[in-house]
Amino acid sequence: MANRLLEVSDLEVAYGDVRALWGVSIHVEAGSVVAIVGANGAGKTTLLRAISGLLPVRRGTIALGGASLAGPAPEAIARMGIAHVPEGRGLFRQMTVLENLELGAFQPKARANMRQALDKAYALFPRLKERAGQKAGSLSGGEQQMLAIARATMSDPKLLILDEPSIGLSPLVVQQMFSLIETLHRQGVTILLVEQNIHQALKIADYAFVLKTGEIAMQGTGAELIADPEIQKAYMGVLEL
Amino acid sequence: MFDFPPPQIFLQLSLNGALGGAMYGVAAVGLSLIFGTMRLIFLAQGAMIILAAYFVRALFQSFGIDPFLSLVIVVPVGLAAGWLIYQGLFRKAAVEEDRNISLLIAVGLMFLAENLMTVIWGGNTAGVVTSYTASGIHILGIRTSFTRTMGFLIALAGTGLVMLFLRKTLVGKAVRAASEDITAASLMGISPHRVNAIAFAVGIALAGAAGVAVATTFPFNPFAGFIFSLKALVALALGGIGSVAGALAGGIILGLIEAYVQFFVGGSWTNAVAYGVFLAVLMFKPEGLFGRPYKKA
Ligand SMILES: Nc1ncnc2c1ncn2[C@@H]1O[C@H](COP(=O)(O)OP(=O)(O)OP(=O)(O)O)[C@@H](O)[C@H]1O
Ligand SMILES: [Mg+2]
């Protein structure tokens, strides 16, 4: 077995009495990009929120490098090395771009490297440097998404979780987004990516899981799934750009 | 024929109103901080101010400590007390995200504090009389008391320090972040309990500072705090929830309104007008006088 960073086994999560995940198992190798795809309401966001501690685990296990993530509060999980860019981005809109980035390095370990992390983020996102003093809420949609990702990289996380980063962006910006994810990948960041843009996601993913009504319906390398006729028929017919 | 009052009157009323209103303002800044992170209207804030005033009086009467000098004791004690109040009384309700319970705890704390003060210090009106209590100073040809001016400066300094803390320190920024989106803040590794406790600590420290100002300027009794909390709430609504400078400004505006109403309409009308303004603002400009309308994220 290669170097498993994240291991989710037999995970069950429910909203009250309504179960949303039924025994989901996924794994993420260190240094890889793993995609989770599936229709609306399949449970993708639910899975990510359970990993980062925003939803309680009903059954099963979640482990990051051997340490259990089922139990600790979200802030503790963040400090263990998970940076989650949530659906809707979770920016502090009333605060400046720079303040958002600084808060990305709030945890004590990251705080010490604030300066270097900031330089690195600005090198990757020059636009954010120009807009450092502007309120996050005043940025364009694409810039906001870049800021959300840049903020998440400020803590030099072991695992970067992205929930639909391309949502609501123009096709051109979507391209920028995906090439950015590839750049981060090349820099060695491990990424767990949820996407509605299935073709693009599978293209850059080393490995992918298909989630269907709360269960893993299929898994394989990105290339395998792209070539799969069932996937093409079910998910890529209309979404192809 | 109606005699138009001399312009001196307007200056005098404005000064009196602003100086008095700054007291509502500091109380409102404390409410604003605690509301920001916990979404709790901390109705006991006024009682904490009165408690601090009694504490200041005790330090003065028993140990001869000058009321203004006692700031160096009252503010750190307030910080510690606020931290403890959160950890002891509110943490559990915050975990369960039960705002009704939190509000009831705040009301319970208020009544407990009021009645303990009555037991310890009696229910009569108290005050702190120093050698300079009666001394006045002249600004632009109008007269005001030394202690009221000091109270105003304390309010300004307290609010200024809180603003510096929120804008310039990383922990202060974390408090602002948590006020805006507690879930997103927790994903940054920011502990909700930490920021709640900090908001309480700073809020109660401000109550301590306000207590010094109240003790030196107004006669007070154990039950005076509740009205203070209500006035602070009006100030908060005027200034816009979530804005520290707005809260202070809201308090000053409320003080001005009260001063003018008292002079031109009559003392019995001041409270009715204050609460009328409160309702009007909530109905027609819920984001406060200075705020822009809320945009949904
Ligand atoms: N807060 C909630 N309370 C109750 N049920 C919820 C809640 N959030 C999601 N669900 C339900 O859980 C299931 C999974 O939702 P989830 O948001 O995880 O799907 P998703 O795959 O992320 O969908 P999308 O592509 O629309 O973002 C859905 O049936 C949804 O209706
Ligand atoms: Mg989703």
* Architecture per CATH, A1-81+158-241: 3-Layer(aba) Sandwich (3.40)
Q: Which ligand does the CA of A87 lie closest to?
A: 2
Domain boundaries, chain A: 1-81+158-241, 88-157
Work out the average pLDDT over A6-26: 95
Q: What pLDDT, on a 0 to 100 scale, did the predictor assign at position A239?
A: 46
Per cent of chain A over pLDDT 70 is: 97
Q: Check CB contact of B97 with chain A, cutoff 8 Å.
A: no
Q: Which of A79, A92, A155 sits opposite B184 (nearest CB)?
A: A92
- Are A136 and A96 in contact, with CB atoms under 8 Å apart? yes
Run of H or E including B103: helix B99-121
How confident is residue B132, by pLDDT bands cut at 50, 70 and 90? confident
Distance CA B147, CA A158 (A): 57
pLDDT in tens, A31-42: 999 999 998 999
- Are B50 and B219 in contact, with CB atoms under 8 Å apart? no
Q: What pLDDT, on a 0 to 100 scale, did the predictor assign at position A16?
A: 92
Distance CA B85, CA B120 (A): 20
Residue A27 above 50 pLDDT? yes
pLDDT in tens, A92-131: 999 999 999 999 999 999 999 999 999 999 999 999 999 9
How confident is residue B292, by pLDDT bands cut at 50, 70 and 90? low
Pair of tokens at residue A125:
């996102």
- Are A20 and A43 in contact, with CB atoms under 8 Å apart? yes
pLDDT in tens, B2-55: 567 777 888 888 988 999 999 999 999 999 999 999 999 999 999 999 999 999
The dihedral formed by the CA atoms of A136, A138, A139 and A140, expressed in degrees to the nearest 10? 140
pLDDT in tens, A216-227: 999 999 999 988
Going by CA atoms, what residue is nearest to atom 14 of ligand 1? A43
B133 or A145, which is more confident: A145
**Across the interface, do B188 and A111 touch by the CB < 8 Å criterion?**
no
Complete domains list, chain B, with CATH: 16-121+144-284 (1.10.3470)
The residues, any chain, with a CB within 8 Å of residue A64's CB and separated by 6 or more, are: A5, A6, A77, A80, A81, A82, A158, A159
Q: What pLDDT, on a 0 to 100 scale, did the predictor assign at position A132?
A: 96
Residue B158 above 90 pLDDT? yes
Distance CA B185, CA B199 (A): 15
Q: How far is CA B220 from CA B51, B116, B211, B215, in A?
A: 10, 15, 10, 7
Number of helices and strands in chain B (H, E): 12, 2
Residue A73 above 80 pLDDT? yes
pLDDT in tens, A155-193: 999 999 999 999 989 999 999 999 999 999 999 999 999
Choose the mutation target among B188, B193, B295 for the interface with A, i.e. most A CBs under 10 Å.
B188
